[in-house]
Amino acid sequence: MSQSDLDALERRLRLAREGHSRHPSRWFQTLRHWWLSHADATAKRMLDLTASGLALLLLSPFAVLLAIAIRLEDRGPVLYWQKRVGLRGHVFDFPKFRSMRTDSDEIRKKLEQLNEHGSAAVTFKMENDPRITRIGRFIRKTSIDELPQLWSIFAGHMSLVGPRPALPQEVAQYTLSDRRRLECIPGLTCIWQISGRSQIPFHQQVELDVLYIETRTVLLDIELIVKTVPAVLFARGAS
């Protein structure tokens, strides 16, 4: 998805948000709130269950082969588990195919001054990160490392679309406005990931996440899922 496409999508969602906020009818606002809380939420959950269940079934042979490759490279664990923060601050176990060395957390502490987002930034990014393994570079570039999160979606901790779940230490640094990201279930993909992905500054990630939360519908989710495919295939902004 090009920057112009992202800008067009953002303008459309902002217009939708302004239309909702300007509507004078309390009845309309109540009906919309009910729809998002019940009917649309049910449809979103059905989409999550169906898509994640099918994907888990179809991709299981590939996942087994990848697990063997990761294990053979350095004899470390196949999955890397983290604590992430979800809806309303709920902490859950977040799996990825391991793409870094087993001592990556300790090494990161020594690399904080090289953080491209700034040494005091909420998030961490570094070009040619020395913690990443050979297989890890491939699976991160193609986002294959995210596949275990399909189970988190199936279990209800995550959704196909929503703000990316943050680490507890990142959430601890959130401002009050940043915490608006916690108002919906976190997702496998989101608005900012279909364009610049990790290249987009944190404050813009928050802005786009809040825009999604205020305008989300199942149709918007389907649109973002479809646009995620080329972003992943072309490894746009991947780290």
* pLDDT score for 125: 64
* pLDDT score for 202: 86
- Render pLDDT for 136-158 as a digit per residue (tens, 0 to 9): 989 988 889 999 999 999 999 99
Could you tell me the pLDDT band of residue 170, with boundaries at 50, 70 and 90?
very high
* pLDDT score for 126: 67
* pLDDT score for 239: 44
pLDDT at 37 over 70: no
Location of structure tokens 């679309």: 161
Q: What is the mean pLDDT of the chain?
A: 82
In this structure, are residues 100 and 69 in contact, taking their beta carbons and an 8 Å threshold? no
Could you tell me the pLDDT band of residue 106, with boundaries at 50, 70 and 90?
confident
Q: Calculate mean pLDDT across residues 158-178.
A: 94
DSSP 182-194: GGS--EEE-TGGG
Tokens of 215: 């305008």
**Residue 211: alpha-carbon gap to chain centroid:** 15
Q: Calculate mean pLDDT across residues 87-106.
A: 89
**Euclidean distance between CA atoms 58 and 88, whole angstroms:** 32
In this structure, are residues 165 and 103 in contact, taking their beta carbons and an 8 Å threshold? no
* pLDDT score for 221: 93
More confident residue, 15 or 188: 188
* pLDDT score for 104: 73
Q: Calculate mean pLDDT across residues 98-127.
A: 69
In this structure, are residues 160 and 47 in contact, taking their beta carbons and an 8 Å threshold? yes
- Sequence letter at residue 221: D
Q: Which of 76-80, 225-229, 231-235 has the lowest mean pLDDT?
A: 231-235
- What CA–CA distances, in Å, run from 106 to 3, 35, 102, 111? 36, 46, 9, 9
